[in-house]
Amino acid sequence: DDIDRAYFAVFDGHGGVDAANYSATHLHVNVGLHEEIVKNPAKALKCSFQKTDEMFLFKAKRERLRSGTTGVSALIVGNKLHIAWLGDSQVMLVQQGNAVTLMEPHKPERE
């Protein structure tokens, strides 16, 4: 279609790099192939994080992997910014020199 899109993501492996590498390889594919990517990009991001997690858990069980990852992704669709994150990774937006709070990070003490 004629809508400009851009995708960015950062993953921070915990206990190894397997989960981070897997997520970096598969998350954007799951987002791009999700049926809601055009109508509801936020839903596509959320569902794709969940699907990628399920895929890695299956692989991790089969191969006895013990790593995990946090991750953040940004999907720009036209002039809209969609953010998704997992764990305590954070996204910071700076607009004209001022920090704009986009999210409250996941912390163990937060419900």
| pLDDT tens readout for residues 36-87 | 999 999 999 999 999 999 999 999 999 999 999 999 999 999 999 999 988 8
**pLDDT for 78:** 92
Task: Convert the pLDDT of each residue in 65-79 to its tens digit.
Answer: 999 999 999 999 999
Residue 34 lies inside a defined structural domain of this protein: yes
Assess contact for 86 and 52: CB atoms under 8 A: no
**pLDDT for 41:** 95
> Residue 3 — pLDDT band, cuts 50, 70, 90?
confident
Task: Convert the pLDDT of each residue in 18-27 to its tens digit.
Answer: 999 999 999 9
Q: If DSSP codes are grouped into helix, strand and coil, which group holds residue 94?
A: strand
Q: In what order do the strands lie in the sheet with 68-77?
A: 5-14, 68-77, 80-86
Q: Which domain holds residue 50?
A: 5-85
Residue 107 lies inside a defined structural domain of this protein: no
Residue 98 lies inside a defined structural domain of this protein: no
**pLDDT for 88:** 81
Quote the number of domains for the chain. 1
Number of H helices, E strands in the chain: 2, 5
pTM beyond 0.85: the answer is yes
> Residue 106 — pLDDT band, cuts 50, 70, 90?
confident
Residue 105 lies inside a defined structural domain of this protein: no
